[in-house]
Amino acid sequence: MNYINEMKDVFDFKNYQEYLKWVLPVKGEERGVRSKLALFLDCRVSHITQVIQGQSHMGLEMAQKTAEFLRLSHEESHFFLLLVSMERAGTEALKKYFQKQIDEVLSARSNIKQRLRITDELTSEQVMHYYSSWHYSAVHLLCSLPEIKTANDIQNRLRLPLEKIKESISFLSDSNIVVQTSEGLNTTGRRIHLEAKSKMISKHHTNWRVKTIEELGLAKPESLHFSAVYSFARKDWDAIKESFLKSIKSSELIIEKSPEDMIGAVCVDFYEI
């Protein structure tokens, strides 16, 4: 998963130290991420702390690797490096040079958002399209993987017609869910959420269960499928249901901190017969 909070991004910050302080917290569910970054950069955690506290500066090479660790897009990485360069500049003239580039990036982003009227919510039409088939969310998530750069890469994973993959990418791009950069496909970080009361929720569940039935026929040895019917006391219903919910939550905590290099589907069913 991208370590960046979905409600903010690097463009919301005026200096890179404040951004790192926010995106590399020492408390909460993301604690420990500074240690992971230090391991990735092959440096001491204390050095990262000194950078965040303004006692030291990142070199551009370290900044580029930090952007890679944080899974920043091409545009986000460029902006992050501009912030680092401005803070490292030794003269006022050079600071003004980088500040002008930063202002130009922010101005361009502002104009694009205004023109496209980008919001955090999908329209009802986009929601219906996105959840009409399992492959839209599959294509969406595959675009977050480093090795997935083109429609052909996605086709090799999903084994769907290339025309269908291209249509999916076109829709996701038009909806500001994925973006085509000079380095290939990537996600925009736009939050996709289906309310529990949505009319599309049953369609969403059905889509992935149909896909799961297809997977059962492949009998992949690395896959895990479990079906069982139990008899138990009605008074234990809530306790059993809660145990499943806790298992889902504990898995989500691992997933939130896990850099993407694959995608997997989860279908859990627990209902009275």
Residue 101 lies in a domain: yes
Count of CB atoms within 10 A of residue 72's CB? 24
Assign 42 a pLDDT band (cuts: 50, 70, 90): very high
DSSP structure string for 87-147: HH-SSHHHHHHHHHHHHHHHHHHHHHHHHHT--SS--HHHHHHHTTSHHHHHHHHHTTSTT
For residue 4, pLDDT beyond 60: no
Tell whether 146 is covered by a domain: no
Average pLDDT over residues 259-271: 80
Task: Assess if residue 55 is contained within a domain.
Answer: yes
In a domain, 105, yes or no: yes
- Burial of 239 from C-beta contacts in 10 A (0-12 / 13-18 / 19+): exposed
pLDDT value at 251 more than 70: yes
Instruction: Decide if 16 contacts 87 (C-beta within 8 A).
Output: yes
Percent of the chain with pLDDT over 70: 89
Confidence of residue 115 (pLDDT cuts 50, 70, 90): very low
pLDDT band of residue 120 (cuts 50, 70, 90) is low
Rounded distance between C-alpha atoms, residue 186 and residue 76, angstroms: 12
Cα–Cα distance for residue pair 73/184, rounded to 1 Å: 10
% of the chain with per-residue pLDDT over 90: 34
Stronger pLDDT, 13 or 27, i.e. the higher one: 13
Domain assignment of residue 31, yes or no: yes
* Predicted local confidence at residue 2, as pLDDT: 39
Q: Is the pLDDT of residue 247 over 50?
A: yes
Mean pLDDT of 235-242: 86
Residue 108 belongs to a domain: yes
- The answer to whether residue 14 is domain-embedded is yes
Please choose, from the candidates 215, 230, 199, the residue with its C-alpha nearest in 3D space to the C-alpha of residue 264.
215
pLDDT (tens digit per residue) in 185-233: 998 877 677 776 788 888 888 888 888 888 888 888 888 787 777 788 8
Domain containing residue 54: 10-116
Residue 7 binned pLDDT confidence (cut-offs 50, 70, 90): very low
pLDDT at residue number 169? 92
Q: What is the mean pLDDT of the chain?
A: 83
Alpha carbon of residue 130 to chain centroid: 17
What is the per-residue pLDDT across 139-176, written as a single tens digit (0 to 9) for each?
A: 998 998 888 889 999 999 888 999 999 999 999 998 88
Average pLDDT (114-140) is 77
For residues 149 and 184, the answer to whether their CB atoms sit within 8 Å is yes
* Mean pLDDT of the region 68-97: 91
Q: What is the DSSP letter of 59?
A: -
Amino acid at 151: A
Residue 180: its H or E element: strand 178-181
Output the pLDDT for position 30.
55
- pLDDT at position 6, please? 39
- Could you tell me the pLDDT band of residue 94, with boundaries at 50, 70 and 90? very high
Q: Which amino acid is at 7?
A: M
Does 132 reside within a domain? no
The number of domains in the chain is 1
- Amino acid letter at 258? S
Residue 122 in this model has a pLDDT that exceeds 80: no
